[in-house]
Structure 1
Amino acid sequence: MLTLLGLGAASFGGLIVLDQSNSTAQGSSRRTPPAAAPGDNSSAAPGADGILTIYYSKTGANYPDLDLTVGNTARIAEMIRDRVGGDVFEIVPETPYPADYDETDRMAGEEEAENRFRPIRDALPDVSAYHTVFVGHPIWYGEQPMVVQTFMRDRNLGSATVVPFVTHEGSGFGNTLEVIADFWPDAQVLEGFEERGTQVHRDLDGARRDVDQWLERIGF
């Protein structure tokens, strides 16, 4: 999945390091999230299951040379929904990221560095009645893309159970758990799921087995 690795061998190596360690410099100390009102600007009420899966996934150009009609994180979200049920909300930017990979890389890096929240196109769901929220995204510059952080800023999950899942190309979770703690300090965070996006793309059956084993391990 798009982990924003940059151009050339030197950039590749440097940004892998940024994914794993430099993310702390852009992490929790720079955020003062507002107290979000769960009911503002909401779409339909939640279903009976009390489970919500939210995700952002990049289609089109992805690392290293993929052109995806369905993003890798979206594939994982589908697998989770198939097993646990509940509702799904896809985070779609109001202004899409560029089709060009390198331009998306540049733009996402600027957003992360400047803590610039990207608006979301659709009305956000009312999260107040969900007891469990799965949150999925690629790792960009060591943490959640800023469009995902817009959702986190604008929806307070309170003491709900949060289950993270990410796609990446070497960073694992990066700084995402610290970001979750910043925005949702009262949430109960379960063991998350991480998989390389290229592995998801190459072996969907294997990815599904990994997802099923993880969900069984955490009680779903």
Structure 2
Amino acid sequence: CYLFSRSGENYVDGKIKNLSKGNTEIVAEYIQECVDVDLFKVETEKEYSNNYIECIEEAKQEIQQDSRPKLKKYLSDISEYDNIVVAGACWWGTYPMSIFSELEGLDFRGKNVFSIMTHEGSGFGSSKQSLMIFCKGGNVMNGLAIHGAEVQESKKMIQKWAEENLK
């Protein structure tokens, strides 16, 4: 499971709240509890601002420039996996650009690729279309969009989805 999750100031249920752990990371941990998955946290070399407003402006600029932020570490081989979960928050209608920094160097031929998107109202945005572009040769499957404010109450639903799709 590739995941990008952001702690600190986040927009949750109409308010800016300080989160000790990002919603996407919580979702990934729920999945890991019920299905044996490896987690790979996508982390940028240059950290995003802890200030929510500044962070979303940084994200917007990355999208406008089609940036590929440098990551602290990269995976180079996913050959041992049949199912790949790409989990992230919906930033301006898609994944954070750091996710694409990781994905575009991998071989997805024959892999099932699942989108998990945490959001505050935009659902999947264009994440599925993005996966079709960046995960060439992979089978983009039905994923899961979770309202960030409801992550804590969604554990059973998330784990049911994982058991049905990832086992």
Cα shift readout 1:1-24 (whole Å, capped 9, x = no counterpart): xxxxxxxxxxxxxxxxxxxxxxxx
Q: Secondary structure at the residue paired with 1:70?
A: coil
- Pick from 154, 176, 184: which aligns with 2:127? 176
Instruction: Indicate conservation of the 8 Å contact 2:74/2:102, yes or no.
Output: no
Q: Percent identity?
A: 27
1:209 aligns with 2:160: no
Answer 1 or 2: which has greater strand percent: 2
Deviations 1:140-168 (A, max 9, x none): 01011001111111222222111111100
Q: CA deviation at 1:124?
A: 2.1
- Cα RMSD over matched residues? 1.4
Secondary structure in 1 aligned to 2:104? helix
- Report the counterpart of residue 57 of structure 1 in structure 2: 5
Structure having the higher Rg: 1
What's the TM-score, normalizing by structure 2?
0.92
Instruction: Provide the rounded CA distance (Å) in 1 between the counterparts of 2:74 and 2:142.
Output: 29
- TM-aligned CA deviation for residue 190 of structure 1: 2.0
- Greater RCO between the two (CA within 8 Å, min separation 6)? 1
Of 106, 111, 125, which residue of structure 2 is paired with 1:155?
A: 106
Question: In the alignment, is the contact (CA less than 8 A) between 1:190 and 1:218 conserved in 2?
Answer: no
Choose 98-107 or 183-192, whichever is displaced more.
183-192
Q: Separation in 1 of the partners of 2:56 and 2:30?
A: 27
Given that 2:34 and 2:163 are in contact with CA atoms closer than 8 Å, whether structure 1 keeps it comes out as no
Report how far residue 136 of structure 1 moved: 0.2
* Cα shift readout 1:88-138 (whole Å, capped 9, x = no counterpart): 110011111011111111110011011011111123252122111111000
Q: Report the alpha carbon displacement of residue 218 of structure 1 after superposing the two structures with TM.
A: 3.0
Q: What is the distance in 1 between the residues matched to 2:104 and 2:122?
A: 24
Report the number of matched residues.
164
Task: Work out whether residues 123 and 145 of structure 2, in 8 Å CA contact, stay in contact via their aligned partners in 1.
Answer: yes
Q: TM-score, structure 1 length as denominator?
A: 0.71
Distance across 2 between alignment mates of 1:126 and 1:186 = 15
Query: 1:213, CA displacement in angstroms?
Result: 2.5
Q: Structure 2: which amino acid aligns with 1:60?
A: G
* Structure 2 residue ranges without an equivalent (≥5): none
The runs of 5 or more residues in structure 1 that have no matched partner are 1-52
